[in-house]
A and B are shown apart, each in its own frame.
Chain A
C-alpha cells in the first residue's frame, strides 16, 4: 500500500537511487520553469512576472489533487504521508526572515542549487551563503530565547481541515478556488506591471486570462474528492498491515485486569487508563487515575496529538463497562499511529468481578449485561480500595495465572524531507 518507503523496500542502494531520480526530476523542472534565474524569481516581488506564484501554486494544487484523489479511492494511505508539523512561531518568524533573504539574495535554497548547477555565479554565492546561514543557526539555537522560539506553538500534525473543522475534501475544493483566484489576479497584475497595459484595456473574462480546460480539470477533480470523501474507518483499518489487524481479531490486545493493575503500579511506566463510560458510571466507580473521556473527544485531533507526543514508556488502556464496544476507538487510534494501545478485557465489570467489592458498598446484579453489573450504594469514584488494590494483586486467584500481553513498543522515529 502506497505510500512506500523505497529505502525500506529496496535497501539503501536502490532506495537512494530513487531519491536521486526524484531529485533529477525536481531539478530539471525547476530549471525548465525558470527558477534558476534570480531575475525571474525577484520579478515576483515587483509584479512584473508572476512565475513564482504560478509555478508554486500549480504544483501545490496538482500534487494535492493527486494525493487526495488516490487517498479517497484507497490507493494511498494518507495517514502514512509525512505532514510537516506545525510550529507556529518558528514558521512565522522563519518565513518572514526567508522572505527578506529571498528578495536580497534572489533565490531560495532549492532554486539556488539549480542556478549553481547551470554555472550561475550568483547561485554559487547564494549556496555558500546558505551553508554559512545553517551553520549560524546550529551555533545559535542553544541560546535560550531562540531555543524557545524553535519549539513554540507546537501543534503537531495539524492540517487546514483541523484548523477550520471542515472535511479534507471541502478544504481541497476551497484551495482550488483560492489558487484560481490567485492565478486570475496574477494574470491581471502581470498585464498591468509587466505588459504596461491599462486596467480598463484588459479583457477580464476568466477564460481569456486562464485556460478553461485547465480550470475545468482542477475543479472537476476537486469536486470528485469532495463528493467521494475520506475512506471510512473500516477501509482505513483494512489498509493497516495484517499483523496489526490480527492482534485485535485474536484479542491479543485485550489485557486481564490483573495485568492492568500490575502496570498501573509499575513506576517505570506511564499508564493512561482511558475510561470511555458515561460520566455517571465514572463517578460511581472508576479505576484509580482513570481519565473519563468521551468517544467523540478521544477520536479527535487534540487527543491524538497528545497521545503521539507522550514518551515511549506510555501505555494506553481503553476501558468500558464490558470492553466489547471499543473496536472503533481502537481502530481509529491505531490508524493514527498510537502505539502501546490495549483494551481492558471484560471492562470495569470484569475488574469488579475479579477484585470483588465489599458487600457493604456494592452488590452484583443478577441478570443484566448492559451497563454496570454492580449496584453501588453511593458514588465512590476512585476512593474505594478496589480502585487500586495495589498491595495484593497476587492475593487474588486471577493474579496467579493470566497471560501477560503487554509488550512495550518503541516508537518509530519519523522525520520529514526537510527535517
Chain B
C-alpha cells in the first residue's frame, strides 16, 4: 500500500510543540498521567516472553510484576496509548504523503548499515529507558511539564550523551 498524496513538508516546530503540549495536557487532565511509549514496549516484550517462557516470567520479579500468574501485561491504558500512537502516526503519514516503505539515513551509509545501527541504538535506548523509568516522552516530556526534578536532570543527560558522541558517529548522519 502506498499513499498517492504528494509528500508535504513538516509543520512549523513551534506549532507542533503547541499541539503536542495540548495533547500532553489532555493526557494529564483525563488520566492523571503523561504520555509514554516505553512502558508499553516493555509490556509488549513481556507479553511475547510470556508466550515463549511463562515460567521464566514468573521467576523474574521484574517481569512477574506485569505478567506473573494470570496477569495480562497488555491489559493497561499504556498499551492502548501505544496502539493509538501507531494509528495516529499512520493517519498523519498517510494524509501527508509520507506513508511509504523507505529508510531514512545519512548520505554515507547503506540501508543495511542503517538498519543495524537502528537496532543497536534501539537496544541501548530500550535498556536506558527502563533503567531511567521512562523514555523521552514519559520521563523528559511528561515529567518536565510537571517540573519533576529527576525528569529535568534526565533530559539534560540525554542531550549530554547525544552531543558527547555525535562527533564520533557523524558518518552515520552527515
A interface vs B, CB < 8 Å? Answer: 2-7, 12, 15-34, 36-40, 42-46, 48, 50-51, 54-64, 66-67, 70, 76, 78, 80-88, 90-123, 125-139, 141-142, 146, 149-150, 155, 157-163, 168, 171-172, 175, 183, 211, 214, 416-419
What would 26 A/B residue contacts be, using CB atoms closer than 8 Å?
Answer: A4-B29, A15-B77, A19-B81, A22-B23, A25-B88, A26-B27, A26-B88, A28-B89, A32-B96, A36-B89, A58-B18, A59-B17, A81-B146, A83-B148, A84-B139, A85-B148, A97-B128, A98-B129, A101-B126, A103-B121, A113-B85, A121-B111, A159-B149, A416-B134, A417-B78, A418-B34
Q: A21-B84, A131-B126 are in contact. Are A150 and B89 (CB under 8 A)?
A: no
CB-based contact B10/A34 at 8 Å? yes
CB-based contact B153/A92 at 8 Å? yes
Distance in Å: Cβ of A105 to nearest Cβ of chain B: 2
Interface residues of B in 120-146 (CB under 8 A from A): 120-146
Q: A20-B81, A133-B124, A417-B36 are in contact. Are A128 and B104 (CB under 8 A)?
A: no
CB-based contact A126/B122 at 8 Å? yes
A122 to B115, CA, bound (A): 5
Q: A96-B161, A97-B128, A418-B38 are in contact. Are A91 and B133 (CB under 8 A)?
A: yes
CB-based contact B22/A66 at 8 Å? yes
CB-based contact A125/B115 at 8 Å? yes
Which residue, of B21, B42, B94, B116, has the highest number of chain A Cβ atoms within 10 A? B21
Residues of A near B91 (CB, < 8 A) are 24, 27-28
Distance in Å: Cβ of B138 to nearest Cβ of chain A: 3
A416 to B34, CA, bound (A): 8
A112 to B77, CA, bound (A): 20
Secondary structure type dominating chain A contacts: helix
> Which of A4, A36, A97, A138 has a CB less than 8 Å from the CB of B93?
A36
Nearest-CB residue, chain B, relative to A23? B84
Q: A30-B20, A61-B21, A160-B149 are in contact. Are A134 and B126 (CB under 8 A)?
A: yes
Distance in Å: Cβ of A8 to nearest Cβ of chain B: 10
Q: A54-B17, A98-B132, A103-B162 are in contact. Are A28 and B119 (CB under 8 A)?
A: no
Residues of A near B35 (CB, < 8 A) are 22, 26, 110, 417
Distance in Å: Cβ of A169 to nearest Cβ of chain B: 11
Residues of B near A61 (CB, < 8 A) are 21, 145
Please count how many residues in chain B sit with their CB below 8 Å of the partner chain's CB atoms.
Answer: 126
A30 to B133, CA, bound (A): 21
Query: Is B5's CB within 8 Å of the partner chain A?
Result: no
Interface residues of B in 40-86 (CB under 8 A from A): 41-42, 44-46, 48-49, 60-63, 75, 77-78, 80-86
**A-B CB proximity, top 7 nearest:** A105-B121, A99-B161, A23-B84, A58-B17, A129-B122, A133-B126, A94-B132
Distance in Å: Cβ of B36 to nearest Cβ of chain A: 4
Residues of A near B88 (CB, < 8 A) are 23-31, 114, 117
Q: A6-B31, A23-B87, A417-B35 are in contact. Are A62 and B129 (CB under 8 A)?
A: no
CB-based contact B85/A23 at 8 Å? yes
CB-based contact B130/A133 at 8 Å? yes
Nearest-CB residue, chain A, relative to B90? A117
